[in-house]
Amino acid sequence: MTDTQETLEALLQEDRVFHPPEKFASEANAGPDIYDRAETEPETFWMEQALKRIEWFKKPTVGLDDSNPPFYKWFTDGELNLAYNCLDRHLEKNGEKVAYHWIGEPGDTRDITYRDLYEEVGRLANALKGLGVGRGDRVAIYLGMIPELAISMLACARIGAVHSVVFGGFSSDSLADRIDDAQAKVVITADGAWRSGKLVPLKANSDQAVARCPSIENVVVVRRTGNEISMRDNEHWYQDLVADQEIECEPEPLNAEDMLYILYTSGTTGKPKGIVHTQGGYLTGVATTHDYVFDIKDDDVYWCAADIGWVTGHSYIVYGPLNNGVTSIMYEGAPNHPGLDRLWQIIEDYKVNILYTAPTAIRAFMKWGDEYPAMHDLSSLRLLGTVGEPINPEAWIWYQEHIGGGHCPIVDTWWQTETGSIMITPLPGAVSTKPGSATRPFPAVGADVVDEEGKSVPIPGGGFLVLTRPWPSMLRTIYGDDQRYIDTYWSRFDGKYFPGDGCKRDDDGYYWLLGRVDDIMLVSGHNISTTEVESALVYHESVAEAAVVGRADSISGQAIAAFVTLRSGVEGSEELISDLRETVSDRIGPIAKPKSIVFTDDLPKTRSGKIMRRLLRDISEHRQLGDVTTLANAEIVQEIADKAAVSAED
Ligand code: ATP
Ligand code: MG
């Protein structure tokens, strides 16, 4: 990546740096002094956090165990229970504090206190025991965003069972694959879920999956939508099952390294991997990052607007916030139902202080129009966050102006299902931000940018992001496939963890994520990242969202093919196409000009909203499409394929 510096300068033309507001900085949970000490003694830093933030049944004396790399372990002589830490220990002081303000899509609401949650979890934990679920058994959870989802996870954690949450938007086949891979004994599902005003038939999907999965012994069904479903032997209504259960359920003392959950990655790059997380290190990582990155205060109303079906929800809707005793918002439905201002209405109603969402959502809000956030009083917000994809500077600025009222710091947090918790991020009171940059590694996290040979690339410069030392919340393996764990993450660069993402560092050493290395394009001998070209396209006022891929080209090696979604009200035209090519040329250089531009109403995305470039590459090169099971909007693929075929003939 030789020409990355030029590109970066183009991106930074306006040289926008945002300093933490003075008041924010003076009251922040973490100041700049936190970095140096953590960097000198990372293991001590994590041990201190583990002891400070967790109530252990048996305190650990060992930090990192690196006797068998890359199978690292943390706090191996410690014993704890995550449900106990998330619930029981808050009861005395904070039992009546709201854990979740839950908002159903149709408009029904529930305020659930820590005591309510404790009681519900105890009942379900006892019920699961009654169904023969014990320590180490796997439980699949296939629900919409209702409180019972968090309750089910915590009930598993309480008795030492391993949960495998499958996002409620997945099909029966995807569910079956995941149940089968984990050999789950029980499925917890619901009659249905509400999404965009429509009923998602969860139980019917689960029936089809269970028919294929002999490992399932019992099915538990939450009544949510009230639609008619069929119930067979060994299928139980959740509400009936928990009704007569005792509240008290002894939390199982678990070893720090016992398995907590399996979660499948979102499938952007191919077949999902069953990522394994354990107890003590995971909780240490999520509790620490949640507190420092989101700068949590006692009376904050905090909203991570992700789905619990993704790691973001596991770490920052369930375990991090509950361990830290915070009040969260949990919203069941779609952001555009019934109106395009639904989220802003919720922020106004509940006086939300912290909002954490994804760039794909922010670009959708931009596309819908500035008038929707403007309808509401969003002045309660004091901090914004993003995760999931690189955020293009335009979206960053829009987010800050239209949602953050110009005064909220933004934390752009880079991490993965595999890392368990946030790895590269600003600390909002300590680090100045630049739109589009995730800034620097979290304290005690070791990161570097290396070249093909694994040698550190001098600053400024770009290459492959690696993590250079183990961290507590890291994945332990891929479920049932240690070899794939080694091959995927530890084989490319000796002794370093390879996440698969490209990255560069600017003169200040700030990290700019460049997307997946598989997506990086080689045009006439120059490496060009998809992220940069997409950012340049989105810079144009007519563009809401863009995806680019490199397709084989006889002259330049690879030619850049762009797929562009326009803002509402804008029509695509030949003129606009040349205008867009000029914009890219101005901002990056003529070499990065897309050879073809196709306008499309939508882009192929995973169910977590990430653009699936590998499918666009397949389309551009007229190949059979790869794995599409994790795709959210399959219809769009054919539509784009038809348009791409026409544009290729031009
Ligand atoms: P799969 O591994 O199955 O292809 P996935 O990588 O999309 O799926 P996740 O673990 O949910 O599944 O996503 C992690 C990835 O998301 C990161 O590796 C990175 O590519 C991207 N990502 C997350 N946060 C950011 C961010 N703040 N900036 C840039 N990229 C990000
Ligand atoms: Mg990944």
Residue 587 has pLDDT above 70, yes or no: yes
Q: How confident is the model at residue 258, as a pLDDT?
A: 98
Confidence of residue 85 (pLDDT cuts 50, 70, 90): very high
Q: Can you list the alpha helix ranges (DSSP code H) found in 98-237?
A: 114-130, 147-159, 172-182, 202-211
The torsion angle over the Cα atoms of residues 40, 42, 43 and 48, rounded to 10 degrees, is: 100
Confidence of residue 646 (pLDDT cuts 50, 70, 90): confident
Residue 519 DSSP code: G
Tokens for 600, please give them: 């499309």
Residue-by-residue DSSP string for 453-499: TSPBPPSSEEEEEEE-S--TT---EETT-HHHHIIIIISSSTTSB--
Residue 3 has pLDDT above 50, yes or no: no
Between the CA of 63 and the centroid of ligand 1 the distance, in Å, is 28
Q: How confident is the model at residue 649, as a pLDDT?
A: 47
Does residue 51 sit in helix, strand or coil?
A: helix
Tokens 């102006």 correspond to what residue?
A: 401
- Whether 627 and 270 have beta carbons less than 8 Å apart is answered as yes
- What average pLDDT is seen over the chain? 94
Query: What's the burial of 463, exposed, middle or buried (CB within 10 Å: 0-12/13-18/19+)?
Result: buried
Instruction: Output the residue whose Cα is nearest ligand 1's atom 16.
Output: 388
| Residue range 429-447, pLDDT digits in tens | 999 999 999 999 999 999 9
Residue 369 CB coordination number (10 Å): 14
Residue-by-residue DSSP string for 313-360: HIIIIIIHHHHTT-EEEEE-S-TTSSSTTHHHHHHHHHT--EEEE-HH
State the distance between the two ends of the chain, measured CA to CA, in whole angstroms: 32
Average pLDDT on 319-332 reads 98
Provide residues with CB under 6 Å of ligand 1.
265-269, 272, 310-311, 387-390, 412-417, 438, 499-501, 513, 516, 608, 610
Cα(179)–Cα(531) distance, rounded to whole angstroms?
35
Mutate to test the pocket of ligand 1, among 269, 415, 535 (most ligand atoms within 8 A of CB): 415
Tokens for 54, please give them: 């967790």
Percentage, residues of the chain above pLDDT 70: 97
Does residue 559 sit in helix, strand or coil?
A: strand
Between the CA of 388 and the centroid of ligand 1 the distance, in Å, is 5
Q: How confident is the model at residue 266, as a pLDDT?
A: 83
Cα(378)–Cα(384) distance, rounded to whole angstroms?
12
Cα(469)–Cα(472) distance, rounded to whole angstroms?
10
Angle at the Cα of 443 from the Cα atoms of 608 and 414, rounded to 5 degrees = 20
pTM (2 decimals)? Answer: 0.95
Average pLDDT on 348-365 reads 97
**Phi/psi at 130 (5° precision):** -60, -25
| Residue range 168-204, pLDDT digits in tens | 999 999 999 999 999 999 999 999 999 999 999 999 9
Residue 318 has pLDDT above 80, yes or no: yes
Percentage, residues of the chain above pLDDT 90: 89
Q: How confident is the model at residue 648, as a pLDDT?
A: 56
Mutate to test the pocket of ligand 1, among 513, 517, 519 (most ligand atoms within 8 A of CB): 513
Cα(138)–Cα(160) distance, rounded to whole angstroms?
10
| Residue range 6-24, pLDDT digits in tens | 444 444 455 689 999 999 9
| Cross-strand partners of 565 | 545
| Residue range 461-488, pLDDT digits in tens | 999 999 999 999 999 999 999 999 999 9
Amino acid identity of residue 559, one-letter, is A
Domain 520-649 has CATH 3.90.1150.10: no
**Phi/psi at 347 (5° precision):** -60, -40
Domain ranges across the chain: 520-649
Q: How confident is the model at residue 15, as a pLDDT?
A: 67
User: pLDDT higher for 630 or 250?
Assistant: 250
